[in-house]
Amino acid sequence: MLENVQAIILAGGISERFHTGKTKLIEKICGTEMILYPIKLLKNLEIPITLVIGYQYEKIKNIIQKKYPFCNFVLQNEPLGTGHALQITQHIWSQNHILIMHADIPLLTTEVINKLYRKHIKSDADISFITAHVDDDSNQSSRLIINNNTIKLSDESNEELDPSHCCISAGIYLIKRSFLEANVHILTKDEITGEVFIQELVQIGSEQQAKIVTQQVSFDTVRSVETLADLWAIEHIRRSNLIQYWMDHGVRFANTLNIIIEENVKIEPGSFIDAGVILTGYTIIKKGCSIGAYTQINDSMIEDGTIIPSNMIISNAIITKQTTLQPFSQYQGNTQNVTCGITFATHKKNMLEQ
């Protein structure tokens, strides 16, 4: 638990670069909506959470409330920038330090937030924020610029980019409440759009000689989802991380390149997953199972030592020990050789309530 900290998640953007006509925050990454990743992270850190929502806010709010009903919401009626989103939350600030983060950073870890917090507190900083090194051709903005002891964040275009400006802000800030109260309302408005942006607080703090510290991390942990190509890349990284986790816990994969596995799947040690397998929903593979190539399993339980042939489709079912299944078959909504007193629907309900 991080003491005297509350979190503001900025989730009001309109997802212009997705070109899909819907908010990117409800897109799924390994079976879980993007917006749920930062909430789960902050819940694990026991930090109170407020989300600023705007564009298609009802869809976002409905998804969140099904899983995390304890979250608070502030509605941003007009998309007037991240600075404006922060300004309209002032009435709910109650802790000494305010953690501000974008909602589209699904690979972020508790370790990164813990590092930022420890450095912020140890340094008695007014502003602390996460940075990462990027390549010259990266489309990530908010470049960190230090000139004549002045620090600022700039959204330079690639054509104007100075090669020395190779670090970005990840959009994750930990700021003293006292500093915010004194300065959040002096952010300047864009003359054309009327938008105001959080990044300007760094320059304001620098000009006031406030204490500013940064914590540099690996870019992959703070990659944001700006386009559908970013979504594809981040899902690939997340799926690779999941497969690595299960290999570290005694699961063998025949081919890690063409396995699809979702966030809520559980696999017990000694199991073997063949090529092309798709595991989705709240599926559980118990100890010592073998899942044949190109089999699809959704929201099902495969009990200890079961051998599933290739090219199967299993959905909402429990496959028990010593069950013989025919290849190229489909099992849906049933239990084969029932030996236990629960249904998978009951198990799934219990998982969702945790």
Mark whether 253 and 179 lie in a shared domain: no
* N- to C-terminal Cα separation, the chain: 19
Mark whether 201 and 253 lie in a shared domain: no
Mark whether 306 and 212 lie in a shared domain: no
In sequence order, what are the beta bridge partners of 173?
100, 129
Check: CB of residue 154 under 8 Å from CB of residue 145: yes
Q: Mean pLDDT highest for which of 5-9, 12-16, 330-334?
A: 5-9
Whether residue 233 lies inside any domain: the answer is no
In this structure, the number of other CB atoms found within 10 A of the CB of residue 298 comes to: 19
What residues make up the domain containing 308? 249-353
- pTM passes above 0.75: yes
Whether residue 237 lies inside any domain: the answer is no
Mark whether 204 and 283 lie in a shared domain: no
- 209, 225, 241 - which closes a domain: 225
Q: Give Cα separations from 323 to 134, 302, 320, 336 (angstroms).
A: 52, 10, 6, 7
Mark whether 288 and 346 lie in a shared domain: yes
DSSP annotation of 187 reads: P
Q: Which CATH number belongs to the domain containing residue 98 in this structure? A: 3.90.550.10
Per-residue pLDDT of 141-175, as tens digits, reads 677 777 666 777 776 544 454 555 568 888 999 99
Mark whether 211 and 297 lie in a shared domain: no
Mark whether 196 and 258 lie in a shared domain: no
Q: How many domains does the chain have?
A: 2
Per-residue pLDDT of 50-84, as tens digits, reads 999 999 999 999 999 999 999 999 999 998 999 99
Whether residue 280 lies inside any domain: the answer is yes
At 309, the amino acid letter reads P
- The pLDDT value recorded for residue 141 is 61
Strand 318-319, strand 335-336: pairing: parallel
Whether residue 169 lies inside any domain: the answer is yes
d(CA 326, CA 311): 10
Mean of all residue pLDDT scores within the chain: 88
In sequence order, what are the beta bridge partners of 284?
266, 301
d(CA 277, CA 256): 10
In sequence order, what are the beta bridge partners of 56?
none
Whether residue 234 lies inside any domain: the answer is no
- The pLDDT value recorded for residue 158 is 44
Check: CB of residue 2 under 8 Å from CB of residue 111: no
- The pLDDT value recorded for residue 148 is 64
Q: What is the mean pLDDT of residues 35-46?
A: 96
Residue 330 — very low, low, confident or very high, per pLDDT cuts 50/70/90?
confident
Mark whether 43 and 192 lie in a shared domain: yes
Q: Using a pLDDT cut of 70, give the percent of the chain over it.
A: 88
- 193, 225, 257 - which closes a domain: 225
- The pLDDT value recorded for residue 142 is 75
Tokens, residue 47: 């930090």
Whether residue 317 lies inside any domain: the answer is yes
Whether residue 239 lies inside any domain: the answer is no
- 225, 259, 291 - which closes a domain: 225
> Is the model more confident about 265 or about 190?
265
Q: How far is CA 129 from the centre of its chain?
A: 18
- The pLDDT value recorded for residue 35 is 97
In this structure, the number of other CB atoms found within 10 A of the CB of residue 24 comes to: 23
- The pLDDT value recorded for residue 234 is 96
Mark whether 215 and 265 lie in a shared domain: no
Mark whether 100 and 196 lie in a shared domain: yes
Q: Which CATH number belongs to the domain containing residue 302 in this structure? A: 2.160.10.10
Q: At what angle do helices 36-44 and 110-123 cross, to 10 degrees?
A: 60
**Strands (DSSP E) along 177-274, which ranges?**
212-216, 252-253, 260-261, 266-267, 272-273
Mark whether 264 and 203 lie in a shared domain: no
Tokens, residue 311: 């090219």
Mark whether 255 and 133 lie in a shared domain: no
Whether residue 238 lies inside any domain: the answer is no
- The pLDDT value recorded for residue 325 is 82
d(CA 118, CA 221): 18
